[in-house]
Amino acid sequence: MLTLLGGGPTHFRHLNQSLKRAPILVCADGGADVALSQGLTPAAVIGDLDSLSAEGRAAIPAENLHHIAEQDSTDFEKCLRSVEARAILAHGFLGGRLDHQLAALSALARFPEQRCVLIGAEDICFLAPPTIDLDLPRGTRLSLYPLAPVTGRSDGLEYPIEGLEFAPGSQIGTSNTSIGPVRLRFDAPAMLVIVPVAQLSAVLGGLVRDH
């Protein structure tokens, strides 16, 4: 696993916990300045590097800077297509500018092979694989948000999802609740799952179990 840091609002307690699980730190462009401000030196900085300060550039070994000049993708997307890991713990992509958040969420669907968890102040979000088992405590809030038309089945949710046709602007699944361990199955890689940040261990257990 690796930790990925962007330039958006970062909750450093959560970041430090991620670094204990995944000590390799990769930064998306200006996220390197955030890392340096906390005394952290990234193993790699990936992006078009237009947000990295001159001071940050000087503080990072040249071989750790990976400049990708094209402007057709975000720095987050550049990172997702450039790294390999069993799971990615991504900070600095939720919160702050809404357009940046939406871009990060939509990017997850373009890289379904990556097991990437976006970590915010209160919640974590990930793209569901075809099947995932989550060992969630009873009463855990779980929301589903489709990025494209998708159907699925569930076990362990207060409101089962079988028979529902999810789609943006139509059926979504806000504020469901677990009634025990949860199993989710989907017919396409298009469903975001959102749970409280306290359930990161359960999410990682489900994502990396068969990956």
Question: E strand or H helix at 154, and its extent?
Answer: strand 152-157
Q: What is the spatial distance between Cα 112 and Cα 65, in angstroms, rounded to a whole number?
A: 26
Return the pLDDT at 136. 97
Return the pLDDT at 211. 56
Return the pLDDT at 210. 57
Q: Domains in the chain, ordered, with CATH? A: 2-121 (3.40.50.10240), 131-208 (2.60.120.320)
Return the pLDDT at 70. 84
3-class state of residue 18 by DSSP: helix
Q: Cβ atoms within 10 A of the Cβ of 96, count?
A: 14
Sequential pLDDT tens for the chain (211 residues): 999 999 998 999 999 999 999 999 999 999 999 999 999 999 999 999 888 999 999 999 999 999 998 888 999 999 999 999 999 999 999 988 899 999 999 999 999 999 999 999 999 999 999 999 999 999 999 999 999 999 999 999 999 999 999 999 999 999 999 999 999 999 999 999 999 999 999 999 999 975 5
Which of 46, 57, 33 has its CA nearest to residue 2? 46
Which of 202, 207, 203, 197 has its CA nearest to residue 15? 197
Q: What is the spatial distance between Cα 160 and Cα 43, in angstroms, rounded to a whole number?
A: 43
3-class state of residue 66 by DSSP: strand
Question: E strand or H helix at 52, and its extent?
Answer: none
Token digits of residue 70:
């094209």
Which of 209, 171, 30, 193 has its CA nearest to residue 108? 193
> Looking at residue 29, what DSSP letter applies?
T
